[in-house]
Structure 1
Amino acid sequence: MATISGVTGTQFLPTAVGYDDERYQYATSTYKDDPSHVMKPGLIVQPLDKDDIKKVIAFAKANKKAIAIRTGGHQYSGASSTGPDNIQLDVSNTFRSTEDLVYFEEVNKVRASVSHSLGEFNAFLGQNHVFVPHGQCTHVHLGGHVQTGGYGQLGRSFGLLGDHVLSLEIIDHDGQEKEITRTSDPDLFFAWLGGSPGNFGVLTHFSLEVHRDADHLGSLGLRVLHLYDKDKLRKLVGHLAAMSDDENFPRNYDLCISVLSAGYDIMGLLGGLDERMRFEHPEIFGTDDNPVWPRMIVVYAQYVPFGPDDKPNMHFFEQLKMGHWFQSEVRKKPMSELTAGWIFRNTREFDLPYVKRTYLTKSKTLGKDGWVDWVVGRMDEIVEPLFNGQWLSAQLQCFGGKNSMFTRNAGNGTSYSWRDSTMCMTIDNFHEPGKKAEAEAWAAKNDEGIGANGKFSNQDRRVLWGSYGSFDLDSVWNKYHEDRPKYERLMKARKLADPDGIFTPNTFCVKRAA
């Protein structure tokens, strides 16, 4: 493959100096030798502007190449990369001027580009005293995040980031600039937001409604850091299960519990790809603000009032303290300031390859079905041994109940799946390269919690941002989308948006209709 004539941005062929570093992303060290997850583009293009993007699309169309679109490059399975026959379009730094992130106070709207990270986005919102739900990983970029939902700490109280989108600005398969809204093109709006990320065109910007701090005076937040203790973890997860099981739990509250193995044991000792990139290329890898931590349980909890008669139940917070190691007491702060405290400040959890799992459930009996003891036991198996070559990163969060905006936003014109879910559980094993078999066996045991007799869910429900297992999305469509009519609607949208397969760079794509 040759470089593309007329492109003003930087291009990297596989023979170019720096190519191996520029193709690096979150999943590279995990899937570098996996033939089903090829992450070696035939050409990497870092466009300077929309004209560059249009030239890449025209080249791909003329030469029957496909384009993988990267914003932050954090997709679990590496779906934002591609193989030697195709092109990776890296827009992580393309749209970063002052015009690419703007707050319109008079209409309470933000226009953002795909090139901004969540950390930057959160800081910008805080400067303008507004907020919106979004995820917690500082270096995840907005492009992939909004297309896959934007799951985050405010899920019950305000829904997903993608629920707030008003319009999408795209460049289509013909190189035409378009703006898509719920009313102008409901099928494409539906497909872009939750269907098959990066496979309908090139998203450059989006506009979304935001929430004013001034409309929610009296917001409270608590972040508690507990040193790891199995019995304490069991009590905390029990509180989470009770909240999740309560269909009538007020919308005002959100609760998330994270569990992390110690972060100090791997500093500089393993010398793997992630570790090398962190030291040699922080401009690609990102920066870490918390390189060292003990084994710990982190509790994030918050309350937001929706009217003058709303009053917090302080017992909700008090039961989460339990002889803490470190905490900020329950703080009364504007929500835009509280959300800054939910951001995880490291580029990745551990500088290691991983086996990842993210599960959803609609169960309302987790506290009665033995799930609490089961999941605590599964986590303790990895966290308790200090030197077993495996490290846990887990996050458990409530999303459900009839008052939850995650639930109530179903049918809002987006295609984000499983909106009747009550809880999301991410439970990941980062491992030394020689411990891959043990990590996979541990994850396989966790998979037994899913299915007819599963402790967590009787149905295999997955999310596109937390993909795992088969990389052929069409063969496992029913794990990511609820029913065949919905999937076929997405297939038809893909055929219209991508008739020549320009945006089909790998198999993790909704199939195009015949």
Structure 2
Amino acid sequence: MTTIAGVSGKQFVPATKDYAVANYQYALSTHKDDHDMNPGLIVEAQSKADIKQVIAYAKEHNKAIAIRTGGHQYSGASSTGRENILLDLKNTFRSPADLVYVEEGNRSFVRASVSHALGEFNAYLGKHKVFVPHGQCTEVHVGGHVQTGGYGQLGRSFGLFGDHIVTLDIIDHDGQEREISRKHDPELFYAWLGGSPGNLGVLTHFVVEVHRDADYVGSMGLRAVHLYNTDTLRRLLGHLAAMNDDENFPRNYDLCISVLSASFDVLGLMGGLDDKMKEEHPEVFGHDGVPLWPRSIIVYAQFVPLHPGQKPDMKFFNDLRTDSWFESGVETKPMSELTAQWIFRNTREFDLPYVKRTYLTNSTSLVKDRWVDWVVGRMDAILEPVDNGQWLSAQMQCFGGNNSMFRRNKDNGTSYSWRGDSTFCMTIDNFHKPDKKADAEAWAARNDAEAIGPNGVFSKQDRRVLWGSYGSFDLDSVWETYYEDREKYERLGRARRVADPYGTFTPNTFSVKRAPADEEILDVGLDQRVPVSRGRVVVRHVLDFIRFLGCCVWT
């Protein structure tokens, strides 16, 4: 594939200098051999004009466009193969006008571009003493994050990042700039926020409504590190399971527990505790100052007062502190400062290939089903053997209950799935040496068999999330694991047919299938009409033929 004339940004084709660097993203360590993640052309757009040039070129040459900002999609869906184009937006919109805070009476908003990483977005909110629920990975960029939901520490108390979106600014398949809102474009708004992320056009900016610290005075948070042992893990996860099983647990609380193999940079997860840790635990840093981390259990917990003067039940925190190796203490801080402390500051967990799993459940019987014993045993299988070439990264969090905003926001005009009754999210990942791939896959396969299904100890149904995708890369063959029912999936397919009628934004199979439109007719002018479903190639050929006939007549 050749470069595109008129584009001001850098362009890279395979086998040229810097292509490998430009092509890098998170999933390459694992999926480069599973499906093609080597685009025929990579374009680092500098402007909207560049984006429009790429779209026009793609339509003219029958290419598809994959869109990347942070490149953190676990299955590699933010990439594409040799026949297509990768549009890189990580540095496209980074002027002061691309991140703006606005107050309108008692409401606050931020207009942000997709080129901002979550860590810097969070820091910007902190400067203005506002916050919004979002995830925890610093290098995830907000464009992909908002389209896949934005799961994070405040999921119970405030819902998802995407729940707070007001408008989306996009460039569509014709290169036209459009603003999409829930009021004026309900079907496209619905599809963009939760359906086929990155595959409906080019998202450039969005407006998100944020919360003010001043409205939640008295918020509290705890960060604690426990040295790994099965008794401690069982006790802590017991509290998490009991919280999950209580359908009336107050909305004010959020709790997330992570379990990590040795050598993981805990400070990257804890954030801001470097000096204190060096002072209190110098043995970790060794003679050369390089940290040698033990296997750890990390606890993030927080309380937010939803009404003035509301106080927490301190037992919630105290149950999580016993025997901790290191902790921040229960700190009373503004919510914008607490959300900054939940940020995971490492680009990735381990620089290794991985087998990832993220499961959702609607169970309210984790204690009864002895999920705690099961999951501790499965983690022990990775953590206990010495030098087995496998490393664990696991994270577990409550999202449910009658008071949870994750659940209560289910009918807010977005299509994020499994909102109505899901209670708990579990990510349990195996990072491994290349020669241990079979062992890692066998471990995950056993987890699948025992955790999921009619007799599953965790969930009776296979529920997945788009940001934590795994398994088959053909979304249409596994749609029921990502979307609640066929009606919803077909609704998204109809929206996709409108947004991406020619497949310009269908760069791989991890895309909602476009609904057929044989019954619909596309007016192409000159009294010629062709079926939409025949696509862009037919339309262009018809037009070319009509023009040719016109020339013949007049000459």
TM-score, normalised by the number of residues in structure 1: 0.94
Indicate the residue corresponding to 1:60 in structure 2: 58
Q: What residue identity is the alignment partner of 1:487?
A: Y
Q: Alpha-carbon deviation of 1:383?
A: 1.2
Counterpart residue number, 1:440: 441
- Find the residue that maps to 2:330 and give its secondary structure: strand
1:83-122 Cα shifts (integer Å, max 9, x gaps): 0000000001111111111110234000011010110011
Q: Does the 8 A contact of 2:216 with 2:308 survive in 1?
A: no
Compute the displacement of 1:370 (Å): 1.1
Decide whether the 8 Å contact of 1:290 with 1:345 is kept in 2: no
Match of 1:428 in 2: 429
The change in CA–CA distance for 1:290 and 1:202 in structure 2 (over 3 A counts) is: farther
Residues 108 and 264 (structure 1), Cα distance of their counterparts in 2 relative to 1, 3 Å cut: closer
1:102 aligned residue: 100
Structure 1 residues 100, 291: CA separation in 2 closer, same or farther (over 3 Å shift)? farther
- In 1, the alpha carbon distance for the partners of 2:9 and 2:292 equals 37
Partner of residue 212, structure 1:
212
Q: In the alignment, which of 9, 12, 36 is matched to residue 38 of structure 1?
A: 36
- 8 Å contact kept, 2:136–2:343: yes
Map 1:16-31 → 2, pairs under 5 A: 16-31=16-31
Equivalent residues in 2 for 1:490-505 (5 A)? 490-505=492-507
Distance in 2 (CA, whole Å) between partners of 1:145 and 1:430 is: 23
Q: 2: CA distance between counterparts of 1:293 and 1:54?
A: 48
> 1:196 Cα shift?
0.6
Measure the CA separation in 2 of the matches of 1:291 and 1:393.
Answer: 18
Secondary structure of the 1:226 match is strand
Greater mean alpha carbon deviation, residues 302-311 or residues 143-152: 302-311
Cα distance between partner residues in 1 of 2:327 and 2:25: 33
Contact 1:67–1:86, Cα closer than 8 Å, also in 2: yes
What is the CA distance between 1:292 and its match in structure 2?
5.0
For residues 41 and 201 of structure 2, the distance between their equivalents in structure 1, rounded to whole angstroms, comes to 18
How much does 1:20 deviate? 1.2
Contact 1:291 1:346 (8 Å CA) reproduced: no
How much has 1:172 moved relative to structure 2? Answer: 0.2
- Determine the structure 1 residue equivalent to 2:343: 343
Which runs of structure 1 show a deviation greater than 4 angstroms over 4 or more consecutive aligned residues? 289-292
Give the whole-Å Cα distance in 2 for the aligned partners of 1:170 and 1:138.
24
Q: Residue 471 of structure 1 is aligned with which of 470, 473, 486?
A: 473
SS in 2 for 1:39: coil
Question: Distance in 2 between the 1:291 and 1:391 partners?
Answer: 17
Please show how residues 266-285 of structure 1 align to structure 2 within 5 Å.
Answer: none
Which amino acid in the other structure matches residue 321 of structure 1?
R
Corresponding residue of 1:461? 463
SS of alignment partner, residue 443 of structure 1: helix
Residue type at the aligned position of 1:338? L
Contact 2:43 2:86 in 1 (8 A): yes
State the 1:240 CA deviation.
0.2
Output the CA distance in 2 between the equivalents of 1:217 and 1:74.
34
Q: Taking structure 1 as reference, are residues 176 and 290 closer, same or farther at Cα in structure 2, changes over 3 Å only?
A: farther
2: CA distance, partners of 1:15 / 1:31: 20
Q: Which amino acid aligns with 2:315?
A: H
- 2:364 is paired with a residue whose SS is coil
Distance 2:453 2:459 in 1: 6
Contact 1:290 / 1:346 at 8 angstroms: preserved in 2? no
The equivalent of 2:157 in structure 1 is: 157
Give the equivalent residue in structure 2 for 1:179: 179
State the match for 2:365 in structure 1: 365
Matched residues in 2 for 1:189 and 1:225: separation? 41
Deviation per residue, 1:382-437 (Å, 9 max, x gap): 11223100000000000000000000000100000001210000000000000000
Counterpart for residue 286 of structure 1: none
Supply the distance in 2 between the matched residues of 1:349 and 1:385 (Cα, whole angstroms): 20
Q: Which has the larger radius of gyration?
A: 2
Structure 2 gaps of 5+ residues are 266-288, 517-555
* Paired position in structure 2 for 1:271: none
Q: AA paired with 1:398?
A: C
SS in 2 for 1:329: coil
| TM-aligned CA deviation for residue 31 of structure 1 | 1.1
For 1:439, give the aligned amino acid: A
Match of 1:397 in 2: 397
- Give the partner amino acid of 1:459: Q
2:14 is equivalent to residue 14 of structure 1: yes
- Aligned residue for 1:249, secondary structure, equals coil
SS of corresponding position for 2:329: strand
- Distance in 2 between residues matched to 1:438 and 1:228, nearest whole Å: 22
% identical equivalent positions: 73
CA contact (8 A) 1:221 1:333 kept: yes
Q: Is contact 1:118-1:138 (8 Å) kept? A: yes
Q: Quick one: distance in 2 between partners of 1:93 and 1:181?
A: 25
Residue number in structure 2 paired with 1:511:
513
Gaps of 5+ in 1: 266-288
How far off is 1:55 after superposition?
A: 0.2
Q: Which amino acid aligns with 1:421?
A: S
1:71 and 2:69 are equivalent in the alignment: yes
1:241 corresponds to: 241
Partner of 1:274: none
Instruction: Give the superposition deviation at 1:15.
Output: 2.7
Q: Which amino acid aligns with 1:102?
A: V
Superposed CA RMSD in Å reads 1.2
Per the alignment, residue 131 of structure 1 pairs with 131
Q: 1:163-195 CA deviation, whole Å, 9 max, x = no partner?
A: 000000000000000000001100000000000
How many residue pairs were aligned?
A: 489
Alignment of 1:282-297 (within 5 A): 293-297=293-297
1:264 Cα deviation from its structure 2 partner? 6.0
2:46 equivalent in structure 1: 48
Distance 1:229 1:319 in 2: 17
| CA–CA separation in structure 2 for the residues paired with 1:92 and 1:205 | 12
The alpha-carbon deviation at position 308 of structure 1 amounts to 2.2
Matched letter for residue 430 of structure 1: F
